[in-house]
Amino acid sequence: MTEQNELIFDPQLIRRFDINGPRYTSYPTADRFVEAFNADALKHWLAKRAIGGVSKPLSLYFHIPFCNTICYYCACNKIITKDHGRSAKYLKYLAKEIAMQAACLEGSRQVTQLHLGGGTPTFLSHDEMRELMASVREHFTLVPNGEYSIEVDPRKVDFDTVKLLAELGFNRMSVGVQDFAEDVQQAVNRIQSFDETKLVIDAARANGFKSVSMDLIYGLPKQNVISFNRTLEQVLEISPDRISLYSYAHLPGLFKPQRRIFMSDMPTPDTKLQLLQLGIRRLTEAGYVYIGMDHFAKPNDELTIAQRQGRLHRNFQGYSTQAECDLLAFGVSAIGKIGPVYAQNVKTLDEYYDALDRDELPVLRGIELTADDLLRRAIIQALMCHFELSMQSIEIAHLINFREYFAEELADLKEMEKAGLVKIDGDWISVQPGGRLLVRGIAMVFDRYLRADRERARYSRVI
């Protein structure tokens, strides 16, 4: 059997199987949610959390949509402003949503994981950050040694801010970099020096942060192999605990800021593959372990250990060690998961404020998973997190005959098996080293919604 995280970069396989597909931070994916699932449905499931006297620990997500400046590549739900009056108002409504969800909630209020995303959470002033965390602690108990993380823009953060974050309980940090090359930074409107990035990460380590992650993107305008190699050298000099190496998805029809990027500046598909190959080689040679998708971590990192022990999980923040949590989500566009349901909030500030003014939870849409959804979610999780699947364990957990239930899917996997992406051996489906980078495409075989709907243009490409 191959090493779990062994990775083979095969350009021919990638060109052949690089298709558009979901990232599977949830299954079913958010585009399958329905508006028939409303605030009443979410309240119902919040109240059912403790049925049978057992309730899972909680993970909390807060979406802070504000940014000082616009990054042209960005596809997040964000609001560009320098007006802190807007964030002050938002926090008041966020506090109301926290109180309303907490009032509906049955069972444990113990939180083992918390994440602030955006936008730019560090847009908030020191007093606003204190105010938000006070609202959280008023309604929930953050357990000692939980995972409390925040996304940080180094351009707007100094040592004192990092010190405050540590005092408020944060112990993990994700730092956006994308690329250190000046011409690339100008092309995407994100000017950020190596020194200010290193200062923030040094501050995190000095203040006891357990893990620091850095985000890079390949496929950006003006990128080339020589300049990207220099960026990788600088990243390795900082030596973060985790590195995310994301593929840039250029979808200007969907994301307006991307229209400011010139197509003439974009690397060719071959260059983009070379950038990925270079990134994988440099990171693995430096000792980072390939976790899956676009994530790398040091051998002693909690993600690597969780994968080794079969405990790795995938959610809306990517890979996680917290598999058994119910996820409560707060703020515009945020997505939560309670038991067998997902719920997503409205996407604009006006809708968010209007719903809360009516004393309604600001739910836009959601979905209650069927037995088939839960079954397929378990399969996709196993493939995405562990690169292997025991048919027998699925049969025991879901009371099915795997080969009968998934006869069509297993037939579709035959082409991938011939190409060396997967191996079907007895009761095991194993993603081979040459198929690891294409695991999204393998998981798509088990997506019932995609099998019925072959329209995939709305998704980014796998590579």
Q: Delineate the domains of the chain, giving CATH numbers in brackets.
A: 1-28+371-463 (1.10.10.920), 30-328 (3.80.30.20)
pLDDT of residue 13: 86
pLDDT of residue 52: 61
pLDDT of residue 1: 34
Instruction: Taking the CA atoms of 345, 346, 347 and 351 in sequence, report the sign of the dihedral they define.
Output: negative
pLDDT of residue 314: 85
- Give the annotated binding-site residues for [4Fe-4S] cluster: 67, 71, 74
A 10 A CB-CB count for 353 gives 18
- Give the annotated binding-site residues: 61, 67, 71, 73-75, 118-120, 151, 178, 190, 215, 249, 335
Q: Are 346 and 77 in contact (CB under 8 A)?
A: no
The one-letter amino acid at 260: R
The number of residues making up the chain comes to 463
pLDDT of residue 53: 59
Task: Classify each residue of 240-274 as buried b or exposed e, where b means 16 or more C-beta atoms within 10 Å of its C-beta.
Answer: bbbbbbbbbbbeeeeeebbeebeeeebbeeebbbb
SS3 content of the chain, % helix, strand, coil (to 5): 45, 20, 35
Q: Name the helix (H) or strand (E) containing 176.
A: strand 172-178
Helices and strands counted in the chain (H then E)? 17, 19
pLDDT of residue 232: 98
pLDDT of residue 452: 77
How do the pLDDT tens digits run along the chain, 463 residues long? 345 557 888 888 888 888 778 888 889 999 999 999 999 999 999 998 877 656 788 999 999 999 989 999 988 888 999 898 899 999 999 999 999 999 999 888 999 999 999 889 999 999 999 999 999 999 999 999 899 999 999 998 999 999 999 999 999 999 999 999 999 999 999 999 999 999 999 999 999 999 999 999 999 999 999 999 999 999 999 999 999 999 998 888 888 899 999 999 999 999 999 999 999 999 999 999 999 888 999 999 999 999 999 888 888 878 888 777 899 999 999 999 998 999 999 999 999 999 999 999 999 999 999 999 999 999 999 999 999 999 999 999 999 999 999 999 999 999 999 999 999 999 999 999 999 999 999 999 999 998 877 555 456 676 7
Distance of CA 136 to the CA centre of its chain: 22
Residues 6+ apart with CB under 8 A from 182: 191
Nearest to 154 by CA among 198, 93, 102: 198
Q: Which tokens in the block code for residue 4? A: 């779990």
- Give the annotated binding-site residues for S-adenosyl-L-methionine: 61, 73-75, 118-120, 151, 178, 190, 215, 249, 335
A 10 A CB-CB count for 24 gives 20
pLDDT of residue 317: 76
